[in-house]
Amino acid sequence: MGVREISRRLNVSRNTVRGIIAQKGSLPDLPRKDKLNIDTEVLRRLYHECDGWVQRIHEKLSEEENKEIGYSTLTRMVRELDLGGSRKRRCDRVADEPGAEMQHDTSVYTLKIGGKQLRVVASLLYFRYSKIRFLKFYRVFNRFKMKCFFHEALIFWGHAAVRCIIDNTNLARLRGSGKNAIITLEMERFARQYGFEFVCHEIGHANRKAGNERSFYTVETNFFPGRSFESLEDLNQQAFDWATVRMPGRTVGKAKLMPLKAFEYEQPYLKKVRRYLPAPYLSHQRGTDQYGYASCDGNYYWVPGTSRADVTILEYSEVLKIYHKRKMLIEYPLPPYGVKNEPFSPPGEPKPQHQPKHRKKPTQAEEKKLESIGEEVQSYLRFVLAQKGIPKHRFIRRLYALSQKITATLFIKTVERAHTY
């Protein structure tokens, strides 16, 4: 076919056709005449000097290097050089395999509970293939709470996947990160009882447990709205019903997968959890005081009997058990979070005869605040507290109350006069 015929059919000029034929199928390299070439070493140096602030780099290029460059061009060059590691990288897509993986993570929320805004930590376990969940809220979340949560969740579902993906949390990780992370011996042995192992994902690769992250979004958009909570116990009961009854019966995703049916299919591939596994606990060695009480976590629990023998207190997730020579003496439910300095005795029975009415409450905080007012107050406190027969805590509380009622200058003058006489 001739050039004239091609030009007529494509409705382009013959010169254009000849030019394209001369290029022999390759695109021409047309460098810009006004293109500015900036040394990459200069950009790296300025990026380091300006702590990564591109706007400041743009100013220094113009003022110090006499390089007039567009801001958008500069940001593109920074991305191309991967300064700061901001370049988006590709990730792998791994197919879901039955029994292969479960994911765990926590998220902090501020909720209105019992008319007050309280900070709670949501702990969520997610089975990747069947998409079943277990959700519980805590006021504080530490390694012991983490073990209690896994025990409760896995005992309830009766099965565990062979590995659990977590972030690089110190609750389970000893050192390292990602594939080089070393799990603490305590948590490694704990996981082995249930037939799984902890695996940390790479730093900044939270999408490795995207199903868990998506579950928290579902909690925020489906569980919290339209619900009210009277207490932490009420919150956890509603969360339990939502995660284990309501959500498993709903279809999810484009495939209309029902988690409960998928879990039934997945069970042969999972590790069966033994129901008789002991629940995690903390062991405390305590003595019995003259009133018959043993202290634990800031509260006092009455010990049956008349002796003052040393006892072993086992603190579980929900209860507290007191033992003496391997024999359980009594069991108490744990008080709500924040309850301190309270005596507890067996419910439904008369209170012990020898029960203290007033326990000592420390006044270190009030004493430090008084000492921070001035040297005059410090010397007065040293003088008074050195005297015998003066009730220390009562005196400090009354003196601190006086300091709150008058100005600092007048309070110092009052203290100086009292010290004189």
Q: What is the pLDDT of residues 232-274, one digit of tens each?
A: 999 999 999 999 999 988 888 777 889 999 999 999 999 999 9
Host domain of residue 330: 282-344
Q: Is residue 216 part of a domain?
A: yes
Same domain, 26 and 171: no
pLDDT at 67: 82
Same domain, 13 and 26: yes
Q: Is residue 168 part of a domain?
A: yes
Inform me whether the pLDDT recorded for 119 exceeds 90: yes
pLDDT at 265: 92
pLDDT at 23: 82
pLDDT at 93: 65
The enclosing H or E element of 75 equals helix 71-80
Residue 160 — pLDDT band, cuts 50, 70, 90?
A: very high
More confident residue, 310 or 351: 310
Lowest-pLDDT choice from 86-95, 162-171, 388-397? 86-95
Residue 358 — pLDDT band, cuts 50, 70, 90?
A: low
pLDDT at 121: 94
Same domain, 52 and 196: no
User: pLDDT per residue over 6-55, tens digit each?
Assistant: 888 888 898 988 888 888 777 777 666 666 778 888 888 888 888 888 88
Sign of the four-CA dihedral 138, 139, 140, 144: negative
Sign of the four-CA dihedral 297, 143, 137, 134: negative
Same domain, 130 and 260: yes
How large is the average pLDDT for residues 92-120?
87
Same domain, 402 and 296: no
Residue 115 — pLDDT band, cuts 50, 70, 90?
A: confident
Same domain, 68 and 26: no
Q: Is residue 138 part of a domain?
A: yes
Q: Is residue 4 part of a domain?
A: yes
Cβ contacts of residue 328 below 8 Å, gap of 6+?
A: 321, 322
Same domain, 296 and 381: no
Q: Is residue 128 part of a domain?
A: yes
Count of structural domains, the chain: 5
Same domain, 209 and 324: no
Backbone torsions φ then ψ of 11, nearest 5 degrees: 60, 45
Residue 315 — pLDDT band, cuts 50, 70, 90?
A: very high
Q: Is residue 277 part of a domain?
A: no
Among residues 237, 238, 209, 212, which one has the least CA distance to residue 225? 238
Same domain, 263 and 329: no
Residue 407 — pLDDT band, cuts 50, 70, 90?
A: confident
The tokens for 9 are: 């059919």
Same domain, 175 and 290: no
Q: Is residue 95 part of a domain?
A: no
Question: How confident is the prediction for the chain on average, in pLDDT?
Answer: 86
Cβ contacts of residue 340 below 8 Å, gap of 6+?
A: 298, 299
Residue 394 — pLDDT band, cuts 50, 70, 90?
A: confident
Q: pTM score, two decimals?
A: 0.66
User: pLDDT per residue over 296-311, tens digit each?
Assistant: 988 889 898 878 889 9
Please say whether the beta carbons of 44 and 81 come within 8 A: yes
Same domain, 171 and 227: yes
Q: Is residue 92 part of a domain?
A: no
**Residue 12 amino acid letter:** V
Same domain, 144 and 193: yes
pLDDT at 355: 60
Q: In the β-sheet with 319-324, what is the strand arrangement from edge to edge?
A: 282-286, 311-315, 319-324, 327-333
CATH code, domain with 200: 3.30.420.10
Q: For residue 167, give Cα distances in angstroms to 170, 184, 198, 208, 209.
A: 9, 14, 10, 9, 9
